[in-house]
Amino acid sequence: YTNQSGVGRGYLTLHTLERIHDRLRELLAQKGATLMEIYACPHISEDGCDCRKPLPGMLHRASREHGIDLSLSLAVGDTPRDLIAGKRAGCEVALVLSGHTKVYRVDTFAAPPPDFIASDLAQLTEFLLSK
Full-model pTM:
0.87
* pLDDT, tens digit, 9 for 90 and up, residues 102-124: 555 566 666 788 999 999 989 99
What is the per-residue pLDDT for 105? 59
What is the per-residue pLDDT for 110? 65
What is the per-residue pLDDT for 18? 98
* pLDDT, tens digit, 9 for 90 and up, residues 23-38: 999 999 999 999 999 9
Q: CA of 117: how far to CAs of 69, 80, 111, 112, 122, in Å?
A: 22, 13, 13, 12, 12
What is the per-residue pLDDT for 107? 61
Under-50 pLDDT residues of the chain: none
Q: CA of 110: how far to CAs of 23, 61, 76, 107, in Å?
A: 32, 25, 16, 9
